Amino acid sequence: MNLFTSIKMAVRNIQGNKMRSFLTMLGIIIGVFSVIALLAIGQGSSKSVADSVNSLGTNLITVNITNTDTHFTMDNLKEVKQATGVKSVAPVLSGRSTLRNGSTTSQVSVTGTTSSYLSIRQLTVKQGRFVSSLDNKFRQKVVVLGSDLATTLFENESPIDKKVLIDGESYLVVGVLNSKGGSMGSSSDDAAFLPFSTAQRLIGTTYITQFYAQAESQDSVNWAMAGISRVLSQTYSDSDDYSVVNQQDVMEAMSSVTSTMTMLLAGIAGISLLVGGIGIMNIMLVSVTERTREIGIRKAIGAKRKDIMLQFLIEAAVLSMLGGLCGVGIGVLAAKIYALAVGGTIVYSLPIMAAAFLFSAVVGIVFGVFPAYKASKLNPIEALRME
């Protein structure tokens, strides 16, 4: 019996027991669709993380100071700016404040910084200007609004040269930023920016706990980080008092977490493939019992053991591959529905789809071996006696 004939017989036997065949394939379908959907969502999340980090600039360095007993001041920051490989620096002082314009209020993130923050964080001004060195020098009560915040407080009006209240104090709006979207869990679109010296007075802090630095180029990031660490080590004896990280470090750490979670979920989904394989073996064993007489007749008219074994292996493989194809289709559809429902990013991988399909076929063949072997071992005389 040739392979094509065996496949036709397998399809005919599957069509003869549609409901049982569907229930047998269900475990394979669920397993493949889960693997496809979860990996598409997981890889999409990793891509979002990478895009979010890269949007901040590949030569951005973030420094956090955890030791507040020894104060890090603007004079220390000037030393950092002179370090090898460092192009510019910007202190960051963050807090939450309530902004009011008339009867409209909004509680948002308020960031105190300097003029270099704009280029370091790759932001652009839509209207007016950003905070300047003169604003910092004279502690001016001026504010720059994110695009969403400007719309919230002023709707369709231009906020430039108008006053807003920040925690009850009047500030002059001097600029509005272009929309950039969220990155790393925060968004400049719904934030307000003050001169660093003004924010110190508003928040009640005189020292620096965080600042951003920009390396001269992507190739000089490591030099800049080493230079910053040297300056910090002159103020802090313990390296645990501060952290110096670049965007690549952040991206690798977050990608590692998302990749681990994705593979864990895919592994759990893969277990259902094995469960589906056990279901196939169970049904094929039942099929062997039901078709004992048919096997006896085929052996009596000259079918060899390998023919019988091949027939049952092909049936198991066809079942699992049909389930695999259905699973791939449902997985692609499920991931698409997820993206439309939550607005997330998904990334389809053809190699993963092919691997999931081939794995489902292998599972069917592996778990079909024992029933096929059992069928091929039947004695034709005993089989013909079965009713």
Phi-psi group of 318: left, alpha or beta (phi > 0 → left; psi -120 to 50 → alpha; rest → beta): alpha
Q: Report pLDDT for 342.
A: 85
Angle formed at CA 167 by CA 161 and CA 170, multiple of 5 degrees? 30
Q: Stretch 62-89: mean pLDDT, rounded?
A: 92
Q: Report pLDDT for 7.
A: 73
Q: Which amino acid is at 254?
A: M
pLDDT per position as a tens digit, 23-49: 878 888 888 888 888 888 878 877 776
pLDDT per position as a tens digit, 206-218: 889 999 999 998 8
86-91, strands of its sheet edge to edge: 86-91, 210-215, 60-65, 242-246
pLDDT per position as a tens digit, 217-270: 888 888 999 999 999 999 998 989 999 998 766 666 666 777 777 777 777 777
Residues 206 and 200: their CA atoms lie apart, in Å, by: 6
Q: Stretch 118-136: mean pLDDT, rounded?
A: 94
pLDDT per position as a tens digit, 330-366: 999 999 998 888 877 888 888 888 888 888 888 877 8
How confident is the prediction for the chain on average, in pLDDT?
84
State yes or no: pLDDT of 130 exceeds 70: yes
Contact 64, 210 (CB under 8 A): yes
Residues 16 and 290: their CA atoms lie apart, in Å, by: 13
State the DSSP code for 34.
H
Q: Stretch 150-166: mean pLDDT, rounded?
A: 95
Contact 37, 331 (CB under 8 A): yes
pTM: 0.64
Cα dihedral sign, 69-74-78-80:
positive
What is the C-alpha R_g of the chain? Answer: 33
3-state secondary structure of 248: helix
State yes or no: pLDDT of 317 exceeds 90: no
Contact 378, 311 (CB under 8 A): no
